[in-house]
Chains A and B, each alone.
Chain A
Amino acid sequence: MPYGFKISLPGKDVSSDNPQDFVFNSELGSVKIVYQPPNKTAQTVVVNASSTATVTIVHNLGYIPLCMIFVEKGIGTGKWWNGYAIGGGGETDDVTLYPIGGGTYADKTNLVLVFKNNTGANKTVSYYYYILGDSAV
């Protein structure tokens, strides 16, 4: 490599071949956060009883980005689940994220989140997303 920029972790040599020894290494690339909610604050959406609600987040990156989504599917529990999550240790599934292929998806312009209310009452669900500056395809 003719030029580059490396920062190793404390106690590690900058000439190491192990990617895990670096804080930053220009040879390895990096996962960049391009978009997250305004003011880095979780967002909410109202989902009617036994119905769905769609949130469209515009990114206009021109490619399909990697994304991470967290949902507090048990309303008010303080437990945030990564992506599409169902069941698990008796935890409630008040409002869940529809899986890829069934609603939630990312394309070259938008991240589309589809929430499903599994209860008989209207619910306000909290969610957080990261749209990353790395192409998924």
Chain B
Amino acid sequence: MSKEGYEATDPDPNHKLLDADYPFFKFHDDVTGSVTFTAGDTHKSVDFTHDLGYVPAFISYWKDQNSRLHFIPGLPYPFGFEGSGIDTAYAYAYADNTKIRCGVQIAAGAYNQYSGSAYDFWSTKDPLHDSCTRVGNDGGDSNGAFRFTSINIPQGSTISSAVLGFYIGVKGAGTGDLKAKIYGIDEDNTSDFGSSPMGRTQTTNYDESSWSLPAQGQYSNHNVTSIVQEIIGRNGWSTGNALGFLLFNNGSPDNVWVFDGDVEGSPSSTLTISYGGNTTVYFRTIIFKDKIA
């Protein structure tokens, strides 16, 4: 059967509606599904089962936040995770003999999460050290500071979680919990520690807790959510800015202190921030009965 205006004897398949020599794809199923990203996710997928017992041909699409359909696979795409700080993600789809799997893989980092190592350090006990921080009671108050850079979080974002991980490089020989106060540096974009930052303006929010110190080589983790929220909420905050923390000994027992570095190349203390809401990605897959394997 030829298209209107063409002869039935025309050999060009592009001119035909129906020809026994050129089969159609045979429809099996049309399925939809979704995945929802929450802060910290790096990958999500959904499976569409089929009962064909072999690998079928298929076509898959994902839908962005503007309801535009994108054919899978596509090139890396700023995946509509608005303000997530994630530059690219990939949608993918594959078939095996039981299912079609559609998913989204974050190219680098995690959805709506900053995770980084300290970039600048200060220690009142070790002012000549530019890569480590000490806090506690080391024959007197030992105070310190951290600065983290390239915080790709939009101004005003809701911070669901922020954890400052103090790396335990060396511990004092004293017993009991370390006691410290952690403040944020109340600045739009914390500048580097060319000189002591300990007198910089402090955030209203702070953490005051006892540190039950883990073993050397582990991290002592501290909830700094309200501190980070206060900084990110500053009118002058911009994504990509730096933020810092001030740590003050707060009555630690004698010789109870921690030092987050010992030798060159020691792991740094870390900051992990989760923020923003969830994003749902919708998929649609057309499954054919045509067998490819």
Could you list which residues of chain A lie within 8 angstroms of chain B, going by C-beta atoms? 5, 24, 26, 29-34, 40, 42, 61-63, 68, 70, 72, 77-91, 99, 126, 128, 130, 133-135
Contacts and interface: CB of A to CB of B under 8 A. Distances in A.
Q: What is the interface of chain A mostly: helix, strand, loop, or mixed?
A: loop
B258 interface: no
B45 interface: yes
B73 A32 contact: no
A31 B59 CA distance: 13
A105 B25 CA distance: 22
B95 A34 contact: no
A88 B90 contact: yes
Contacts of A62: 12
B105 A88 contact: yes
Contact of B58 (A77, A82, A134): A82
Contacts of A90: 43
A89 B292 contact: no
A130 B57 contact: yes
A32 B24 contact: yes
B292 A42 contact: yes
B207 interface: no
B22 A86 contact: no
B256 to A, nearest CB: 42
B43 A89 contact: yes
Interface in B33-67: 43, 45, 55, 57-60
A85 B23 CA distance: 27
A44 to B, nearest CB: 11
Given A26-B18, A89-B101, 4 more contacts: A34-B13, A80-B96, A81-B93, A81-B94
A78 B57 contact: no
B55 A29 contact: no
Interface in B86-117: 90, 92-97, 101, 103, 105, 107
7 contacts: A5-B18, A29-B17, A79-B94, A80-B95, A84-B73, A99-B75, A133-B16
Nearest to B97: A78
B92 A81 contact: yes
Interface of B: 1, 3, 12-14, 16-19, 22-25, 43, 45, 55, 57-60, 72-73, 75, 90, 92-97, 101, 103, 105, 107, 290-293
A86 B90 contact: yes
Given A33-B24, A88-B94, A128 B18 contact: no
A31 B105 contact: no
Contact of A42 (B12, B93, B293): B293
A80 B1 contact: no
Nearest to B27: A23
Given A82-B73, A85-B92, A88-B94, A33 B293 contact: no
A78 B218 CA distance: 41
Considering the complex of A and B, which 4 residue pairs feature the smallest CB-CB distances, nearest first?
A133-B13, A88-B92, A32-B22, A128-B292
Contact of A34 (B22, B57, B97): B22
Contacts of A72: 293
B253 to A, nearest CB: 46
B97 to A, nearest CB: 6
B18 A83 contact: no
Nearest to B98: A78
Contacts of B45: 88-89
A61 B12 CA distance: 7
A133 to B, nearest CB: 3
